Amino acid sequence: MVKISNESQAVLELIKRYGPIRSVEIVKMLNISIKTVYKHLARLLDEELIKKIGTTPVVFYVANTNTKEDSVKLDKDARIIEENYIYVSPSGEIVRGVNGFQEWCQKNKFDFKKELPVFIKKFKSFQGLKKDGLISAKKTILSGNNKLYLDNIFFSDFYNIGHFGKTKLGQLVYLGKLSQNKALIAEIVKIVRPAVLQIIEKYQIGLVCFVPPTIDRKVQFMDVFSKGLKLDLPEVVALKVPSLTKVPQKTLRKLEDRIVNASKTIAIDPSQKINSNVLIIDDATGSGATLNEVAGKVKNITDNKIKVLGYSIIGSYKGFDVISEV
């Protein structure tokens, strides 16, 4: 059992009762100096009895439901969760690793010890589908029933991992787009950049094309992502055709509707000079309709010797409808 001073215990009880609470509010309620409050907060944080939420300068403190006493000793396999799991609480708090997995189990009333090996097995089976850290999805996109313009299509991970929810990259892409958080997008770049560079080298890519966004946002995911990649390659510019009614690709449930959407709403200037292999990059791939239609437009203004490949950070495992929320 963790031993703390009576004053630290008073701070803890206040946080348990009123949290989320700020340090200045603790000062007022306990009538002690801010320096003393920070000392107790540091102690409680060190013992993992509380945790900080929010972002500087607006920081709050809440009681930690997973303390050191509840911590799990990790073997080699369990460390996979520590490195590859992210849980987002209903309040929007990002909890990583084993702590996040524990909170997910608690929320869904699952037995942590039973779910742990199931997750590990599922994760390893997904990893087994990768080659050099990439998943090739050419055989599965567009259900194999439509004309393929892409010579190949890759993504770095699946969007979700069964009933466990989103993969780490799935969560980061979802949160990065939803919150327009540049730090999260930078984290994605750090994870996937080696794979993108590998594709460029292996397939002798000389041009890159970033799929344009449909929805106007103050911080555009793909703008931040493309700058972070620092590919130093000339771009094939793809533009979104402006319209009064904008229909996001990923809100469409039918494959044929997605194909029409991609074909009619994305334009590529035919005067652009395309004289080398092209890599088209998107954030999330479901049916593959967008990447494939853009590839068709690129090939329409090139000769047959040019190869066009697609890359997406995350992709669907069982069908394009599972990532319609991105």
Of the residues 46, 63, 80, the one at which a domain ends: 63
Percent of the chain scored above 70 by pLDDT?
Answer: 84
Q: Are residues 42 and 154 in the same domain?
A: no
Q: Output the pLDDT for position 251.
A: 57
Q: Output the pLDDT for position 320.
A: 37
Per the domain annotation, does 49 fall within a domain? yes
Q: Are residues 224 and 93 in the same domain?
A: no
Average pLDDT over residues 1-5: 78
- The rounded distance, in Å, linking the Cα atoms of 30 and 207 is 62
Q: Which amino acid is at 85?
A: Y
Q: Are residues 94 and 182 in the same domain?
A: no
Residue numbers of the domain that contains 118: 72-127
Helix then strand then coil, % of the chain, to nearest 5: 45, 20, 35
Per the domain annotation, does 1 fall within a domain? no
Strand partners of residue 282: 312
By the 8 A CB rule, do 166 and 323 touch?
no
Copy the structure tokens of residue 301. 């203004």
- Whether the pLDDT of residue 150 is over 60: the answer is yes
Per the domain annotation, does 48 fall within a domain? yes
- Whether the pLDDT of residue 229 is over 60: the answer is yes
Q: Looking at the 3D structure of the chain, how many domains does it have? A: 3
Interacting residues of 103 by C-beta distance below 8 A, sequence separation 6+: 65, 66, 87, 89, 95
Q: Are residues 141 and 168 in the same domain?
A: yes
State the CATH number of the domain containing residue 49.
1.10.10.10
Residue pointed to by tokens 């194909």 = 259
Q: Output the pLDDT for position 72.
A: 53
Q: Output the pLDDT for position 318.
A: 60
- The rounded distance, in Å, linking the Cα atoms of 58 and 37 is 16
Q: Are residues 114 and 200 in the same domain?
A: no
Q: Are residues 154 and 245 in the same domain?
A: yes
- Kindly report the number of other CB atoms within 10 A of residue 127's CB atom: 13
Four-residue CA torsion sign, 167, 314, 88, 49: positive
Q: Output the pLDDT for position 309.
A: 95
Q: Are residues 59 and 96 in the same domain?
A: no
Copy the structure tokens of residue 144. 């194999």
Q: Are residues 187 and 52 in the same domain?
A: no
- The rounded distance, in Å, linking the Cα atoms of 145 and 150 is 14
Average pLDDT over residues 86-104: 87
Per the domain annotation, does 250 fall within a domain? yes
Segment 14-26, tens digit of pLDDT: 998 888 899 999 9
Average pLDDT over residues 38-67: 85
- The rounded distance, in Å, linking the Cα atoms of 138 and 152 is 5
Q: Are residues 185 and 290 in the same domain?
A: yes
Segment 281-309, tens digit of pLDDT: 999 887 788 888 899 999 988 876 899 99
Q: Are residues 123 and 143 in the same domain?
A: no
Copy the structure tokens of residue 281. 């990059």
Copy the structure tokens of residue 254. 């039918």
Got the DSSP string for 1-66? -----HHHHHHHHHHHHH-SB-HHHHHHHHT--HHHHHHHHHHHHHTTSEEEEEETTEEEEEE-SS
Of the residues 100, 127, 154, the one at which a domain ends: 127
- Whether the pLDDT of residue 322 is over 70: the answer is no
